[in-house]
Chains A and B, each alone.
Chain A
Amino acid sequence: MNFLRASLALILLIGWSQLVPRSTHAESPVDFNRDIRPIFAGKCFACHGPDESKREADLRLDLRDEAIDAGAIVPGSLDDSSLIERILSDDPEERMPPPHTNDSLTKEQKELFQRWIKTGAPYAKHWAFVRPEKPELPEVSDSKWAASPIDRFILARLDEAGLQPSPEADRYTLVRRVYLDLIGLPPTPEEADAFVNDQDPQAYEKLVDRLLASPQYGERWARDWLDLARYSDTNGYEKDRPRSIWPYRDWVIKAINDDMPFDQFTIEQIAGDMLPEATQSQKIATGFHRNSMLNEEGGIDPLEYRFYAMVDRTATTGTVWLGLTIGCAQCHSHKYDPITHTDYYSFMALLNNADEPDLFVKTPEVTQRREELLAKIHEMEAKLPEQFPPVDGEGDIEQRRQQNFQAKRSEWLDKSRQEAAQWKTLRATSLTSNMPKLETLEDGSILSSGDITKRDLFTLKFSIDPLQLPLTALRLEVMPDERLPASGPGRAYYEGRQGDFFLSELKANFNGQPVKLGDASHSYGKISIGSGNANASNVLDGDGSTGWSTANQEGQSNQLVVNLDQPITTAGELTTGLLFERHFAASLGRFRISGASADQKLAAKQLPVSIEDLLAKDPQKLTPEETGQIEHYYLTIAPELAEARQPIDELRKQVPSYPTSMVMTQRPADNPRPTFRHHRGEYLSPKELVTGRIPKFLQEDEKTAGPTDRLELAQWLVSRENPLTARVVANRAWQAIFGRGLVESSGDFGTQSDPPSHPKLLDYLACSLMDNGWSMKKLHREIVLSETYRQNSNTSDEQQAADPQNRLLARGPRFRVDAEIVRDTMLKASGKLSGKMFGPGVYPPQPESVTALAYGNFRWNPATGEDRYRRSIYTFSKRTAPFAAYTVFDAPSGEVCTAKRDRSNTPLQALTLLNDAMYIELAQALAESAQKEASSNEAVAENIFRRLLTRPPTEAELKAILAYQAAQLARLNSGELDAAKITGNKNSTAESAAWVMAARALMNLDEAVTKS
């Protein structure tokens, strides 16, 4: 069947190969990489390549020695090489590739093989696996035009093809192009004129430098990086709930604006947490790999989805830095590239030894605000006694107030002291669990870390010494900790509330005999999902589906107390078991067990444990500070002060909490996460343990170890030993500016990829990038200063016929801008664009029906103020229902790493620009702004035109616009059209409505959404 894509690919291939000089003539030497490897990769490696599981006849052709040993190739001898015999055979049983694969070789390919073997069958490493070296500049026909290295390489290739470069673009075109490329926004007419009228011969260079220094540069280039990082503001999958990782997005913008060297940019994102004395910013950078999705669906196996996240991270690392489809080796060894199944999991192991917490981002602004408010609260609390109600009676009111305060306080103190129990922390002698690591902290509490499951069981052993006897009750204190999700006390991180826990059962044994527990009580109980109760007695009922939980009080302490039916009266070993069993992983993160000796049943108290401890102490032995703590506590609960405390409570609500960002933290040396090879890539089929390393073929030599952990991997990625990263990065920059990379498949530099159009230029750019300290700004600068870039993009039938995709760059780039730039262009043209940078995602207007298709009751509440007009990079990105006006222009959803966007041209795009209320609103603003700036019809029309397209309109264009405007105005005046509806403003005139209509039409021009 002749599928379109296949036939197209063929057409393109043929078209392209005409441009590439190949060794089709008998006299020119055969180049292995150029001539032979592509045939091998396309036709032979699937069965005779690196994948041992699919290898036929034990023959591999990707290694020369093996091919020779097997007799397939006998260098210099056609007659003895079975490869030649098989490819030439007429016998369908013998012929290779086998006829049923439909992969037959052309006559030309067969000849190539013969000539190659005749000349000794030399192999060469795939070009991309050999370190780039700065090439000599080629000779060109016009060294004046080609003054810069980039232009030398481009012109040399044009010379070969017999093509001429195009003249330089006019200044309006150039200023618009370079604005769109460097800052992702068109210039205002004033900005454009400033350049056009600048007589300085250095005007263009100065403009470029100014744009490179603009903060909007980072906003434009961060978008490309976020495509690779699969950034989104939601978790993905079914529930697709919001996540907080925008500080990472802001980090990217800032890093790019600061021109952070790309090597550092890499190291911080892959392993910022592992740098010595890692800063908050370096930790935020590790959000790069936290951008993978999180399945929050009830009932999943959380470790299965963690595995899929690792699969994503492995593949993404391969695509972003190595330009390799490492992901192909998840299920079996790579068919074409020398990446084995074990290489894949070893590479994964380098990335797989991190925990995934949320980091509280302690910005100075929030810290300062917190401190101010807390100081205020403290001050107000100190004055509370002055608001204590006085006793009734005569005399000085302050005295009576004081009297009442003292009386009530000692009353409370006496009662509380009587009730206070002597709890003693039990320090565990042994801590075991099914998976998480449990450790005892200094205060005797226990912290859980590492991975958790839907059914966690903690077993804690305590040695009960005679001083603690008789032991009559146990108290489980659940405690907050900043290291836990939402500060704990639980470790729930999906499906349930963050920081929640669910204790199903609590059991105890003493010296191996079951201890009967009863009379359970808690200070607070609520479960987060479902209608069940959270009674303390649930933990003793033998039913795993009931339990205790403190939902909605994340970040706070609570307690559960159980009494022993029979007190323990002898020393021995107490074992307690805590079972956490729910449809999501919800074990405790930090908790403490205490025991008490009491002559009555004890119950859980609201009183904080620290205060109860003080109350239980001999009052004579209290330090003044401790007395102060008790007294302060009394102020916070005294019923007489309830009203007086209200303003304080209000103030407390205003204390801002720190935003969080998702980060990576390397696991401690005593609790590494093992990585296994997974048979067929399946989560449920782990096989042998692997150790972290890079694929063998990329290792410098067998003796050097190469990277063994995440930080070393990051450093290796940007080291000179790695042949790929600099090329991949330079190629993507080229792609962003010219629409296509020098290597067309910007995410695949493997043996299957098409060779670069300008191999030497690519190596030149890669080497310059490294030589320039990995400065991306310098790279962008060099590209946009080239004559190649500055050519006009006009094209002719002849050019279209010779090089329809403009791979040889005989003209400048011209293509539709990315989705976000479409909107940002309209925002800027309309004068509505907000310059506000950073912060949580915002909600520009879109129809409610877009998110109605998403799971749950997700509501898209369009912003009303400045946030409505922020740059598109700040739009809240929801994976399962992405912003429709971006999707329609091929913006990715953030579900997978995207190295290259599609660039379609569809009627749905037309409908969006024509009819979307968001764009109509901007058309209204655009017309209004233009009318404010200009008075004559010609001037208004020109103003609208130039805000969108930069250049002045031609006479014919102006005439057409004015004719349209006049025609609409006539209809408005006649009452056929309603000005109020068109402008969205009751008091508007027909005239302004006609300009809105004109503005809307011009926003829909091809040129308005095109960089030309």
Chain B
Amino acid sequence: MNWLQEQTRRHFFRNCGVGIGKIALASLLAESGLALGEANANEASPFAPKQTHFPGKAKRVIYLFMAGAPSQLELFDYKPKLAEMEGKPIPPSVIAGQRYAFIQPDAAVLGPQFKFAKHGQCGAEISDALPNLAKVVDQIAILRSVHTDHFNHSPAQLFWNTGNGIPGRPSMGAWLSYGLGSEAHDLPSFVVLKSGGSLSGGAAMWGPGFLPSVHQGVPFRGQGDPILHVSNPAGYDQRAQRESLDLIRDLNKQQFDSVGDPEIRTRIAAYEMAFRMQSRAPELMDFSQETKETMDLYGANPSDGGQAFANNCLLARRLAERGVRFVQVYHAGWDHHSNVAGGVRSQAKQTDQACAALVEDLRRRGMLDDTLIIWGGEFGRTPMVEASAALGRSKGRDHHPQAFTMWFAGGGMKPGFSLGKTDDLGFHVVENQVHVHDVQATILHCLGIDHTRLTFRHRGLNFKLTGVEEHHPVKELLS
């Protein structure tokens, strides 16, 4: 789909590469009686594919954002020492100067709540909460040494998605749409899907910030129209819609002839693309095109709201196939301040199969090489137990920004690889410390972008996703 940016929209009809194919454009132009005079001019729409800084292995990203922050200690970062120390406080030397959301830093330690085992040829150690991921472990790269600046959900989620803890900066998807353009036809370049509980960061997580607003993420809705207002109103069939658009176009055209504002031509084009989106959306959402084997692989079932995450993973693949640059799949429900064992078990049950299926499905289709899958939450969880009489909490874990785990697959990441190490308590990173901005730089790198050069001038400063301090792509992770 092709949103048109103010400065370039007058040149829309010179561009045939984006949004609508040449044939469609030609017919559209013929229909609207506009000349196809300058169709090969080189000025581009905001979604024209852009040249990258260097060849990138990934063409698109599916980011499985585990909102609420999954416990790395229950899933990826096995710390037997915690079991030994269970019930005892963390040594003061470790906790000095730390701030926590709910607990006091001297709270007692809680042992791992799951068994761990080594899997695959790579021998990566993960817990038995993730039996399906264990089967594709040779396809993924596990990073156990991530840390962040924020220990509250909203700022930490914003930090991952926009590079800043306060709303207002462009989101990663918007940066990519701006920096790379779109390969999607009649679909947004940046799509947001969501399942599970509540998201903390709000719409700012897919906002355009100060980038042109055309780059903002389009949330697909879990109820009603997947894209707002993509269905005709009650009583209007396809022909009525088409004939209405014809009238609108004809009158707009008459107005253009009389006042000459190129903006009108842009609006004509926008309406035509809206119409095409309307016909495109049902096809996109129609899972009956998928085989039963594929549906079973994901555990997808469009009529079952309980399978929302699995459905979203499958939809993410379908969006990726249609050229959508950045699919953000949020699943909220990992904030286990109490009963971390039960919480992780239940969330893993909802997500493990579909995550593994996405990796496997993309691999089979040959899309894993150029699709980067990212899995991770906004921070980690404390080695210390959270218990509070007032809140009715026990055997939970609080927010832990100092060390946590993510994994990646495809798109130029090393398969069957693990990086990073935390101390015996899982409290601090001791090897290969990676900051959020480093991960963001890595993601951009996979797409062929030098994060220091993807900038936008706003109010006198050149802003970038990765902030002002020095950060680097994690080269060790790259294949």
Contact = CB atoms under 8 A, between A and B. Distances in A.
Interface string B387-411: 1111111000011000000000000
Interface string A897-908: 000001111111
Contact of B101 (A583, A896, A904): A583
B70 interface: no
Contacts of A733: none
Interface stretch (B76-84, B85-93, B206-214, B347-355): B206-214
Contact of A793 (B43, B236, B261, B468): B261
A683 B50 CA distance: 39
Interface in A1-37: 1-5, 8-9, 11-12
Nearest to A455: B104
B270 interface: yes
B244 A800 contact: no
B202 interface: yes
Contacts of A106: none
B437 to A, nearest CB: 14
A855 B199 contact: yes
B479 interface: no
B390 A814 contact: no
Given A4-B44, A4-B46, A301-B99, A905 B270 contact: yes
A212 to B, nearest CB: 28
Interface string A904-937: 1111111110111100100000000000000000
B460 A909 contact: no
A299 B154 CA distance: 11
A51 to B, nearest CB: 11
B274 A908 contact: yes
Contacts of A796: 260
Contact of A532 (B213, B225, B391): B391
A530 B392 contact: yes
A976 interface: yes
Contacts of A696: none
Contacts of A854: 198-199, 202
Contacts of A849: 221-225, 228
A325 B243 contact: no
A879 to B, nearest CB: 7
A943 interface: no
B227 interface: yes
A280 interface: no
Nearest to A816: B263
B4 A855 contact: no
B392 A299 contact: no
Interface stretch (A131-139, A281-289, A664-672, A964-972): A964-972
Contacts of A1005: 248, 251-252, 255
Nearest to A983: B235
Contacts of B50: 1-4
B287 interface: no
B213 A880 contact: no
Interface in B211-266: 212-214, 218-219, 221-225, 227-237, 239-241, 243-244, 246-248, 250-252, 254-255, 258-264, 266
B259 A905 contact: no
Interface string A611-646: 000000000000000000000000000000000000
Nearest to B186: A907
Grouping DSSP codes into helix (H, G, I), strand (E, B) and loop, the A interface class, with mixed when no group exceeds half, is loop
B381 interface: no
B218 A908 contact: yes
Nearest to A543: B389
A200 to B, nearest CB: 28
B269 to A, nearest CB: 9
Interface residues of B, number: 114
Contacts of A968: 240, 243
Given A904-B3, A911-B228, A981-B235, A502 B390 contact: yes
B168 A896 contact: yes
Given A582-B390, A794-B260, A814-B261, A852 B4 contact: no
Given A12-B7, A325-B461, A752-B460, A299 B399 contact: yes
A853 B203 contact: yes
B401 to A, nearest CB: 12
B261 A5 contact: no
B4 A905 contact: yes
B178 interface: yes
A8 to B, nearest CB: 5
Interface in B255-300: 255, 258-264, 266-268, 270-271, 273-274, 277-278
Contacts of A804: 10
Contacts of A752: 460
Contacts of A441: none
A203 interface: no
A328 B460 contact: yes
A626 to B, nearest CB: 41
Interface stretch (B128-136, B428-436, B449-457): B449-457
Given A4-B46, A546-B389, A896 B224 contact: no
Interface string A802-837: 001000000000111000000000000000000000
Given A240-B202, A299-B101, A912-B229, A532 B389 contact: yes
A382 interface: no
A545 B460 contact: no
Nearest to A12: B7
Contacts of B224: 847-849
B426 interface: no
A601 B172 CA distance: 65
Q: Contact residue range for chain A?
A: 35 or more
Given A1-B453, A915-B230, A957-B254, A1006 B260 contact: no
A924 B229 CA distance: 17
Nearest to A912: B229
A605 B459 CA distance: 62
B201 interface: yes
B167 interface: yes
Nearest to A327: B459
B8 interface: yes
B207 A907 contact: no
Contact of B166 (A4, A308, A532, A816): A308
A884 interface: yes
Nearest to A857: B198
A888 to B, nearest CB: 8
Contacts of A12: 7
Nearest to A1002: B251
Given A893-B207, A968-B240, A295 B231 contact: no
Given A750-B460, A982-B236, A884 B228 contact: yes
B260 A957 contact: no
B390 A331 contact: no
A568 interface: no
B460 A915 contact: no
Contacts of A3: 50, 178-179, 454
B423 interface: no
A598 interface: no
Nearest to B157: A238
A907 B267 contact: no
B110 interface: no
Contacts of A333: none
A960 B243 CA distance: 11
Please name the 8 residue pairs, one residue from A and one from B, whose CB atoms are nearest each other, closest first.
A299-B101, A880-B202, A981-B235, A531-B392, A530-B391, A910-B274, A849-B221, A238-B154
Given A816-B263, A852-B223, 20 more contacts: A312-B166, A328-B459, A530-B391, A531-B392, A748-B459, A850-B228, A853-B219, A879-B167, A881-B203, A905-B267, A905-B270, A907-B2, A908-B274, A916-B229, A957-B254, A964-B247, A968-B243, A977-B237, A1006-B267, A1012-B261
24 contacts: A1-B50, A238-B154, A543-B389, A546-B390, A582-B390, A800-B10, A849-B222, A852-B222, A853-B194, A854-B198, A881-B203, A893-B167, A902-B212, A906-B270, A907-B2, A907-B277, A910-B274, A911-B274, A911-B278, A979-B235, A981-B234, A997-B240, A1001-B251, A1004-B244
